[in-house]
A and B are shown apart, each in its own frame.
Chain A
Amino acid sequence: MELIGLANYAVYMAIFIGIYAILALGLNIQWGFTGLFNAGIAGFFAVGAYASSVFTSPAADGRLGGYDLPIVVGWIGAMVCAALIAWPIGKVCLRFRSDYLAIATIGVAEIIRLVVKSEGWMTGGARGINNVPRPFGELPYFQSQLAYLALIIAVVGLVYFLVERQIKAPWGRMMRAIRDNEAAAAAMGKDIEQRRLEAFVFGAALMGLGGALFAHFNRSITPEAIDPMVATFLIWIMLILGGSGNNRGAILGVAVVWIIWSMSELVTDQLPQEYAIKAKYMRIFIIGLMLQLVLRFRPEGILPEPDYSNHEKKKKVPDANKASDASAAE
């Protein structure tokens, strides 16, 4: 019995790690590779979660939706909707320097949260949407969890593959160049505004997908789920801790932070009532402390940005030219 409980818990955690991995990969495109400070992940997460819920849930009174579409359509719809919301935001905000972009995106995420909460005809208001279908949801509990985990692993694998391909291609090189030196990238003929917008929309679409995966796993979505603490800042910590500019680092960071985050909940739940409330803040403190320690001792993260021309290294790079080496070293 105990063993089954453990297995259940492990599967549950792994599913969340998968969902967060999608969000972190989205943020990595924006921040890790392009240098866009998006502090409004929760907003795109919400758009994706609600869009997919509206598309796929059965008909209900008093709110939009009831289209009862296939779940795949919902997930693609979630990405499209998040991208459509990101496009005008990026168009306006990407002209700002990075710190202003951060403030603008926080504002946008907050607006989305308030809209979701107060526009009941569209989103069900504070009650949210409660009958979101779940793939393999008709199976017995444990099998259903396992099946959803397998699905998530497949989605994460596919997303990882598609993102990595871009990062290793000239597109990724161009983005990293824009991140490293905007003026020089413009001088080399790159259309900075347009390219940043591409990265912003691409990343936002993945955040929307993450939201959809979350809503279908929970079988519901409510405004409470769009808490900036767990839907924005936790993801930032995951990415920075794991190593921004490195997709494997991003996923590793997600796993490490999520395990610490949920394990600490197990510990605080054991405490007597009067301490349990205080201990909630301790969890946030521990995560903050971890971030501080990482930034102090390993600012590049657990897995730093790799040398992306490395896979070319094996090909012919002739031996050191000693003569020019000597003159350059003078």
Chain B
Amino acid sequence: MLDVKELTMSFGGFRAVDHCSFSVDAGTITGLVGPNGAGKTTLFNLIAGAFQPSSGTIRFQGEDVTKLSTDELFHRGLVRTFQIPHEFHRLSTLENLMLVPPKQSGESLLSNWLRFGAVRAQEEVVRQRAMETLEFLELTHVATERAGNLSGGQKKLLELGRTMMTDAKLVLLDEPAAGVNRTLLRKLEEKIQILNQERGYTFILIEHDMEMIEKLCDPVICMAEGQVLISGDFQTVRSDPRVLEAYLGEVAYGETA
């Protein structure tokens, strides 16, 4: 589904992503792990079209999408969430979701003036879908609250919720569990699994919570210093000496080996 080849991103002399190649199969939940500064989020930004890579190609569903922008990728079903929640803080929680569906006729100035009835009818459908999503996320009680007033964990749920308001094919989740309490975390894992199995979403998941990675992800890709170290199932990756080295440094590796 997604094919990344020799992807490189340099900021000045620093290569945040360095000749990175991997692919993701449809229907999987792929975990992306690695120490801080390994280039995981930069990789997401490249795949999602927020940055243009210095070199390399990205293919999505067989097509070269390297040069496409974030909004164009969204319309092809590639949707991302943010590590730090990017809620629309002065919009209500409900509006945050209602905003998402593509091709809303009410996004055209002329339709709103000339065909308001049709716009209103479509709004009703969108609102219904948003309410269902809120129910799924158990956020119904904060539907009319400004999103800026939600708790950190609720904002994370809202990020996930937005991906449910479109017919996404591939969803990039950037640390969905960070700052989320344990109870909510289990719920989040459950939601991701349901979306994967029932809606057929493919996920790539950046996460530092190894329990969550172990539970959800197969395969797991480990990055360090902008490169893919290894990919495989969780146990293989966890016990690989190169992974230990990347996390703990060379000295520690020397001691444990």
Which residues of A are at the interface with B, using a C-beta cutoff of 8 A? 162, 165-166, 169-171, 173-174, 176-177, 179-181, 183-192, 198, 202, 245, 305, 307-310, 312-313, 315-325, 327-330
Contact = CB atoms under 8 A, between A and B. Distances in A.
Contacts of A329: 151
A171 B95 contact: no
Contacts of A177: 88, 91, 95-96, 99
Nearest to A313: B144
Nearest to A170: B106
Contact of B100 (A188, A309, A323, A328): A188
Given A162-B113, A169-B106, A189-B75, A324 B141 contact: yes
B82 interface: yes
Contacts of A324: 138-139, 141
Given A166-B113, A184-B88, 14 more contacts: A169-B106, A170-B123, A177-B99, A180-B89, A183-B86, A187-B82, A187-B86, A189-B71, A189-B75, A189-B166, A202-B109, A309-B94, A317-B143, A327-B187
B153 interface: yes
A328 B154 contact: yes
A165 to B, nearest CB: 6
Interface in B84-135: 86-92, 94-96, 98-100, 102, 104-109, 112-113, 116, 119, 123, 126-127, 131
Nearest to B152: A328
B174 to A, nearest CB: 11
A184 B106 contact: no
Interface in B130-164: 131, 138-141, 143-144, 146, 151, 153-154, 162
A34 to B, nearest CB: 13
B201 to A, nearest CB: 16
Nearest to A165: B112
Interface in B228-248: none
Contact of B107 (A174, A192, A307, A322): A174
A-B pairs, top 10 by smallest CB distance, nearest first, are: A170-B106, A189-B74, A324-B138, A184-B86, A320-B141, A180-B88, A309-B92, A186-B70, A169-B112, A169-B106
Looking at A171, A187, A312, A313, the one whose CB has the most chain B CB atoms below 10 A away is A187
A180 B148 CA distance: 10
A319 B144 CA distance: 12
B79 to A, nearest CB: 7
B193 interface: no
B107 to A, nearest CB: 5
Interface of B: 48, 50, 69-71, 74-75, 79-82, 86-92, 94-96, 98-100, 102, 104-109, 112-113, 116, 119, 123, 126-127, 131, 138-141, 143-144, 146, 151, 153-154, 162, 166, 181, 183-184, 187
B233 to A, nearest CB: 30
A325 B91 CA distance: 20
A309 B140 CA distance: 14
Contacts of B153: 328
A169 B95 contact: no
A202 B113 CA distance: 13
Contacts of B139: 324
A317 B127 CA distance: 11
B162 A188 contact: yes
B144 A181 contact: no
A320 B151 CA distance: 16
A98 to B, nearest CB: 16
A323 B107 CA distance: 36
Given A170-B123, A176-B90, A327 B69 contact: no
A186 B50 CA distance: 9
A171 B82 contact: no
A173 B95 CA distance: 7
B59 to A, nearest CB: 20
A173 B112 contact: no
Contact of A198 (B88, B105, B109, B162): B109
A187 B89 contact: no
Contact of B146 (A198, A202, A307, A312): A307
B189 to A, nearest CB: 14
B99 A188 contact: yes
Given A170-B119, A188-B100, A180 B109 contact: no
A187 B184 contact: no
Nearest to A307: B92
A325 B106 contact: no
Nearest to A166: B112
A171 B99 contact: no
A315 B116 CA distance: 19
B70 A181 contact: no
B146 A183 contact: no
Contact of B141 (A186, A198, A307, A325): A325
Contacts of A245: 90
A318 B166 contact: no
